[in-house]
Amino acid sequence: MNVWRAGLGACAALLLSSCAWFVNPEAEREVMLKGHDPVGYFTVGLPMPGRAELKAEHGGMSYRFANETNRRLFITSPERYAPQFGGLCANGMVYALPTTGESDAFKIIDGRLYLFASRRARQYFEMEQERNLRLAWHYWDAEVRDSTLWWQSLKRQVFRVPHYRTTAELGSELERRAAARKTD
């Protein structure tokens, strides 16, 4: 099985590296949060669509805002409002797997915005939130932050972290916990 993973990883690396010439360096910066207003998560508690004419740049990304007040708040303190892990899924970060976070699957923890690949991924993260937050920050700082994301993903698909759990295992654990709560 490990030989198969290594072979698959090598093929994927070759394929992905050959696609680099498709990237347009002149392209507009990527819009973070699919254009949703980052301040709105804190003020309204929901993803609010931003307006293309109200934008600001931060960390190589473009952010949009629903109103000028939110734009000014963001410009004054972008670290407060920008999603953690560069907008990647916090649950994926627990396993050092950079996965895109979705703008409608989020949670504010200790005054910071965390995104998740899905609402289910958020539920998995919440099962052991403090532990998962520690692991996510560890892997973000130690491996992911300054890495090439496709390479990091490939590496951790082949070489799993010691505490790796499959989606099926996490789903079973979530169901077990839900059933236990019903009997209490």
Those residues whose C-beta lies under 8 Å from the C-beta of residue 45, and which sit 6 or more positions away, are none
Give which of 90, 139, 88, 140 is closest to 110, Cα–Cα: 90
pLDDT value for 29: 57
In the numeric block, the tokens 């919440």 are attached to 126
pLDDT of residue 5: 57
Is the same domain home to 56 and 113? no
Q: How far is residue 19's CA from residue 2's CA, in Å, rounded to a whole number?
A: 26
Looking at the fold, whether 63 and 101 belong to one and the same domain comes out as: no
Q: Is 18 a member of any domain?
A: no
pLDDT given at position 8 = 47
Domain finish residue from 78, 97, 119: 78
Residues 61, 104, single domain; the answer is no
Whether the CB-CB separation of 94 and 76 falls below 8 Å is answered with: no
The DSSP bridge partners found for residue 113 are: 108
Q: Is residue 69 part of a domain?
A: yes
Q: pLDDT tens track of the chain, all 184 residues?
A: 555 555 545 444 434 433 333 333 334 458 999 999 999 999 999 999 999 999 999 999 999 999 999 999 999 999 999 999 999 999 999 999 999 999 999 999 999 999 999 999 999 999 999 999 999 999 999 999 999 999 999 999 999 999 999 999 999 999 999 999 888 7
Per the structure, the complete domain to which residue 146 belongs is given by 83-184
- Quote the pLDDT of residue 11: 46
pLDDT for position 7: 52
Q: Please tell me the total count of domains within the chain.
A: 2
Entry pTM: 0.83
Say what the pLDDT of residue 14 is: 39
CA gap 182, 5 in Å, rounded: 40
Q: Are 93 and 137 part of one and the same domain?
A: yes
- Cα dihedral 62→63→67→69 (10° resolution): -100
> Are 87 and 144 members of one domain?
yes
Kindly state whether residues 55 and 128 are assigned to the same domain. Answer: no
**Pair 179, 127 in one domain:** yes
Q: Assess whether 87 and 149 both reside in one domain.
A: yes
Tell me, yes or no, whether 19 lies in a domain: no
- Within-domain flag for 40: yes
Phi-psi region of 143 (alpha: psi -120 to 50; beta: other; left: phi over 0): alpha
pLDDT confidence of residue 184: 74
pLDDT at residue number 23: 35
Buried b (16+ CB within 10 A) or exposed e, 95-104: bbbbbebbbe
Q: 3 lies in a domain?
A: no
Q: Would you state the pLDDT for residue 121?
A: 98
